[in-house]
Amino acid sequence: MMKKLVLLALASAATFVLPAVVMAQEVKPPEVNISGVHLNHEENQIVQYMSDDEFYKFKQTYELSNGNTLSLFSRFNNKYAKLGDGTWHRIVATGPNSFVSKDHQLKMEINLQNDDKVSGYLLMPAASPAVAGNDVTSVAYVKVVFR
């Protein structure tokens, strides 16, 4: 009887500990390819140093073709992008006019022209309905252009 109680206690403890161990493991975002564009910057994008002076010309709010806005700004030597009223995404330069977010959510190319016009694109996750079971094996991305 005592052995059964000990085994029952151990089995009960395992049901609480095992899910916590599984949840504690880091979940890496899926790698995403769209028309040859790969958002996993650590493996496929070369991060380039961009000084605050070089980044200054990009610090503004841009209008996007989907009606949203994209704001670029810096705080404490870090560069950030923000869509509308959304969350901040820390970004790094991958070229003289291209950036990717460190959380793999945004990729952009911004071409500033002499007549105060902007061209380029922003690649971001598409809004999608919740999937049963939260199965996130693939993510759809949309490409919007600057207006």
Residue 98: per-residue pLDDT:
96
How far, CA to CA in Å, does 141 sit from each of 8, 38, 105, 120, 124? 48, 11, 9, 16, 5
Position with higher pLDDT, 117 vs 130 = 117
pLDDT at 68 > cutoff 60: yes
pLDDT at 111 > cutoff 50: yes
Token pair listed for 25: 């493991």
Measured distance CA(134)–CA(145) in Å, rounded: 30
Residue 5: per-residue pLDDT:
52
* Residue 38 CB burial class (10 angstroms; 0-12, 13-18, ≥19): middle
Position 35, amino acid: S
Region of residue 120 (phi > 0: left; psi between -120 and 50: alpha; otherwise: beta):
left
